[in-house]
Amino acid sequence: MEQAQQMPPLSVSVEESARILGISRSATYELIAKGEIKTFKIGRRRLALASELKAFIERAAKIGAR
């Protein structure tokens, strides 16, 4: 039987977002409150699109490179 290819997650929790970004959970919530990271809710869970995190990192790197 062939192994199914595992697809990377499309969205992640705030806690996982913080881990991916290398910042604290509190700092992640601050960025969400400022609108720098867009999130959405499904039920009681707040999630961020993986593509949104990548875009945030690219924006931050561009600003930091100046």
Six token digits for residue 51 = 């593509």
pTM above 0.85, yes or no: no
Cα 17 from Cα 19, distance rounded (Å): 5
- Residue located via tokens 């499904």: 42
Under 8 Å between Cβ of 22 and 56? no
**pLDDT, tens digit, 9 for 90 and up, residues 17-44:** 999 999 999 999 999 999 999 999 999 9
